[in-house]
Amino acid sequence: MFKRFTVLFLALLMVAAVFAPVTLAEEKVVITVLNYMDLTAPGAERTLTEVWHQFSLDNPNIIVEREDLYLEAFHNKAEAYAAADKLPDVVLLYPGGRSTTLHRKSLVKDLLPLLGDDAKYYHDYVTEPQAGGYMAMIPSTKTSSHAMFVNLALLEELGLKPAETYAELVAQVPVIKEAGLDVVIMGAEDDWVLQSCLFSMIAGRFVGDQKFDEIKAGEAKFTDPEFMAALEFYAQLYEDGVLDAKIMDTGYGEVKSLFAAGRAPYMIDGDWAAGDFVTDQTTGEALIPVEDQKNIMMTVFPVIEGTLHEVSSSGTLGTGYGMSAKIPAGSAKEAAAWKLIQWLSGPEVQSITLETAGALPSRVDVDLSSVFGESPDPIIEERVYNFYNRTGESTYILDSFFEADIFMPINIGLQEIGLGLDTPEGVAQATQEAFDIWFQAQ
């Protein structure tokens, strides 16, 4: 009797195994990822361990094949994948600008239906339509592409205080140069830096978003007085000695080391650059020692008197992760890709980014005080608690608002003005001609 029961029981187990549904947890799903990451950044090791490796530990059935690229290498690869119709399953996206192709051609999915009721955990700006008219990614933060980093200790050594107006900044030029220093440094070797981190702010103050809306609608021109005035002011920066043409020979990754070494009292970059100065937890070292970070102030360019916005910065949504539109709806791959995106935009990862870079989270359930615990690096406290109170109005970043066909002539033109190879008039005309071609093709 016992033997017959055992045989029957084993037979039932075999039948159950055959007809048991295959769940996601039992499958092995491969997800390819194109990721934007500076592997040399102070927080890189922590990100690799606490973000990517942790996800793999928690989800052994999801095999993540990740490609990490940075700056132009990333953007060029994303465009190449798009052109070949071989976009990875998950890709880091900008809300527009350099990711416009992926948005406008609907190469990535609308994530709003997948987000569903979880939208309540995010600030309202997360669900606003992006460049393609839908929510292609979950922004991790809002970001200011313009920030002025000020070395207070160095200014004090020179007998100076942070310039509050442009006239005051110009008056400081002889004193700073007499000491053998540069005035304002930038890593402008890559053409996007001058436009995104400096000129978008200038254009916002002289031109304003409403005028740019009119330009984009074909109701105004880049050759109008407002945009011309912005270009002329930018050219004046070189004439006044505030900027030096050698910034075009300074690599984007190099400029932070120069600022940390006291090469200049002022550096212009994006607000994200704060993360480059924090303590690397793997080495215990920081580009600017913790005890010296209290002497670094994050603010914006001094008042430009008589402009539309005398104090302002340029800002947009932060980056986020999108999903390839080629992934079948309802598939195991879609479920796995969405699980990864949920993790990358979730409270744990946003808390890490807040702690290591000072990026204010897009989630409403991340408590700043609990994340920091022990006092963070002073540069992070400066960004989180002080900088955003100094930015004033936030205006368009030109390479986020306009298509590449339009902003590339600006990018290149700004470098050429600085090098004495073009004029504000020439750059305005070239940009308008590029816009006319783009506009007629719409």
Helix locations, 84-224, DSSP H: 100-104, 112-115, 152-157, 166-178, 192-193, 200-206, 209-216
Dihedral, CA of residue 410, residue 150, residue 351 and residue 393, to nearest 10: -50
Among 327, 361, 395, identify where a domain stops: 361
Q: What pLDDT band is residue 2 in, cutting at 50, 70 and 90?
A: very low
Q: Please, which residues have CB within 8 angstroms of residue 108's CB and are 6 or more apart in sequence?
A: 87, 91, 93, 102, 132, 136, 137, 322, 323, 324, 325
367 domain residue, yes or no:
no
pLDDT in tens, 397-439: 999 999 889 999 999 999 999 999 999 999 999 999 999 999 9
Q: Say if residue 273 is in the same domain as residue 240.
A: yes
Residue 114 has pLDDT above 80, yes or no: yes
Single-letter amino acid code for the residue at 270? G
Q: Say if residue 310 is in the same domain as residue 392.
A: yes
Helix locations, 20-142, DSSP H: 44-47, 54-58, 71-83, 100-104, 112-115
Q: Say if residue 75 is in the same domain as residue 120.
A: yes
Q: Say if residue 243 is in the same domain as residue 338.
A: no
Q: Say if residue 310 is in the same domain as residue 420.
A: yes
pLDDT in tens, 124-155: 999 999 999 999 999 999 999 999 999 999 99
pTM of the model: 0.87
Q: Say if residue 293 is in the same domain as residue 417.
A: yes
Helix locations, 117-262, DSSP H: 152-157, 166-178, 192-193, 200-206, 209-216, 225-239, 255-260
What CATH code is carried by the domain that includes residue 285?
Answer: 3.40.190.10
380 domain residue, yes or no:
no
10 domain residue, yes or no:
no
Domain extent for 230: 144-316+386-440
Q: CB of 427 within 8 A of CB of 229?
A: no
Give the chain's domain count: 2
